[in-house]
Amino acid sequence: MNKNAAIGIFDSGVGGLTVMAEIIKALPCEEMIYFGDLARTPYGSKSKETVVKFSCEIVQFLISQGVKAIVVACNTASASALEELRQKFSLPIIGVILPGAQKAAEVTQTKRIGVIATRSTIATGAYVKAIQSHDPQIHVISQPCPLFVPLVEEGWLNHVVTKEIAKEYLFSLKANKIDTIILGCTHYPFLRSVIQDIMGNEVTLINSAEETARVTKEILFCAGLLCTMSQDKRHRFYVSDEGSRFIELGEQFLKEKIRIITQIDLGKGNPYV
């Protein structure tokens, strides 16, 4: 494996760019290739079988682009497809669930952790399983927050309505006296201040994206795959549908310009799948 190859990263849409932003922060020398499956986004409401199929197609494409490792920057795909991807492909594949779960299990004092995520991520039970495999004594309270993604995409980050909705969603976590909460969806770090206000400063917020970046660095280091050339980075972006809104929202998520973007068709007749 070429240590100066790019890292592949994918999500159903634009959300994974928050994970990419953290990886760029942790690994500024690495080049990255991002795939956003805009034609089939979101994955949150789809079956495991379908999410596995879509994820395999994307990983196959990223491998054809010569990547050295893959970050599954999508909670749904990490919860549903990671095992199948690791069985099928031999390069390092890192998901977003285990890093956040591990960190939360380490920092909790009261052994009461809250997890907020989309309905489908919660339904897989992946966070509960991951946390309890670390420490079976930990009590996990899960809360789906299906309106958070549309609120973030609407740009209502500090809107009074967003605070009302957050209060309602977080009520059971407050009542259950958790001391740590995992932001289990790529969009949720944008609501960090609203969530922190409601939960209070004594509750630790775990950003899965940050933890995933930390773990990615560790895994590449241990595999001898960290980039050794301080080349001019040219991150590349591939999308499966027209990308103008992806660029607009994505540059906010990524906090840098999206320059090289290509639309490809992963369906019928695609040479990569």
Per CB under 8 A, does 217 bind a copy of itself?
A: no
Judged by beta carbon, residue 136 or residue 269, the one nearer a copy of itself is: 269
Helices 192-199 and 160-175: crossing angle in degrees, nearest 10, is 50
User: 80, 121 in Cβ contact below 8 A?
Assistant: no
Contact region for a copy of itself (CB under 8 A) — 58-66, 74-82, 164-172, 220-228?
164-172
H/E stretch holding 120 reads: helix 119-124
Per CB under 8 A, does 26 bind a copy of itself?
A: no
Judged by beta carbon, residue 49 or residue 218, the one nearer a copy of itself is: 49
Per CB under 8 A, does 194 bind a copy of itself?
A: no
User: 142, 122 in Cβ contact below 8 A?
Assistant: yes
Among 50, 65, 132, 176, binds a copy of itself (CB under 8 A): 50
Per CB under 8 A, does 268 bind a copy of itself?
A: yes
Beta carbon of residue 227, minimum distance to a copy of itself (angstroms, whole number): 34
Per CB under 8 A, does 262 bind a copy of itself?
A: no
For residues 223 and 88, give the distance between their C-alpha atoms in angstroms, rounded to a whole number.
19
Per CB under 8 A, does 80 bind a copy of itself?
A: no
Judged by beta carbon, residue 28 or residue 267, the one nearer a copy of itself is: 267
Question: Is 222 labeled as catalytic in the residue annotation?
Answer: no
Per CB under 8 A, does 40 bind a copy of itself?
A: yes
Judged by DSSP in three states, 256 sits in coil
Residue corresponding to tokens 């690994």: 27
* b/e per residue 9-20 (b: at least 16 CB within 10 A): bbbbbbbbbbbb
The one-character DSSP state at 188 is G
Residue 227 CB partners (closer than 8 Å, separation 6+) = 3, 4, 27, 29, 30, 31
Among 26, 56, 63, 147, binds a copy of itself (CB under 8 A): 147
Beta bridge partners of 204: 180
Binding site for a copy of itself (CB under 8 A): 38-41, 45-47, 49-50, 146-147, 149-151, 153-154, 160-161, 164-165, 168, 241-242, 245, 267-268
